[in-house]
Amino acid sequence: MNRIKIILVDDHQIVRDGIKALLSDTSYINIIGEAKSAYEFFDLLKIETPDVVLLDISLPKMSGIEVSKILSAEFPEIKKLMLSMYVSEDFIFNALKSGIDGYLPKNTTQEELLFAIKEVYEGREYFNKSISDTILKSYVKNAKYGNTVSDNNLGSLTKREHEILFYVVEGLSNPKIAEILSISVRTVETHKTSILRKLDLHSIVDLVKFAIKNNIIEL
């Protein structure tokens, strides 16, 4: 069995150290890199290709869920194991929708973490019991009250539109976004129009609320 190549993405030094300590004496695991932000991670990805990414859900600027979405679209072969302090329904649903392969709370045990890594590495999914309970509970609730699971059309956005969406809800002006992306202001406007249309939203106010609900930005 080849050693499983892993990249850690978490903004807290202590957490990264903790995970490294948990994994260090396991012969078949090889931590090839770590990043404290989405940007760092994507830079790292240019020179290293991991088998599994351990993703913190709450990262500064771009959330782990956003990272997961992009990975799902661009590098579907990389497995994504999400670590989170939160086990609330919203977080879990959004994480699921972003295409993650597993989800663990941060107070997990070494055994569970190792098991989860092996599971996702071998192409299966792994969800911590409290996570699957939450999912189950939600299904039961929906079945009971006839509610539909909140759905969105984030997946229908293109990579470029995701990028624009992110800058918009960060509060950047159109000219600023145009400058960053080296495109014309008119193009930024066109993308924004497409985003609002695809998400069936009708104002920037709605877009910001949508972004917060879907963990694209943090409050």
Q: What are phi and psi of 79, to 5 degrees?
A: -80, 145
Q: Which of its own copies, DNA, none sits in contact with 161, Cβ below 5 to 8 A by type?
A: DNA
Q: Which of its own copies, DNA, none sits in contact with 191, Cβ below 5 to 8 A by type?
A: DNA
Contact status, residue 185 vs residue 174, Cβ threshold 8 Å: yes
Shortest Å distance, C-beta 204 to DNA:
4
Which residues, numbered 159-188, are part of the site for DNA (CB under 7 A)? 159-161, 173-176, 181, 183-187
Distances (CA, A) of 28 to 31, 195, 207: 10, 43, 44
Question: How many residues does this entry show for the chain?
Answer: 219
Shortest Å distance, C-beta 57 to its own copies:
13
DSSP assignment of 128-177 equals: -HHHHHHHHHHHHHHHHHTPPPP---GGGS-HHHHHHHHHHHTT--HHHH
* Residue placing its CB nearer to DNA in the complex, 106 or 160: 160
Q: Which positions lie near its own copies, rule CB under 8 A?
A: 37, 39, 42-43, 46, 61-62, 70, 74, 85, 87-88, 105-107, 130, 133, 168-171, 173, 202-206, 208-209, 212-213, 217, 219
* Residue placing its CB nearer to DNA in the complex, 38 or 117: 38
* Residue placing its CB nearer to its own copies in the complex, 100 or 211: 211
Which residues would be at the binding site for DNA (CB under 7 A)?
A: 146, 158-161, 173-176, 181, 183-187, 189-193, 196, 202-204
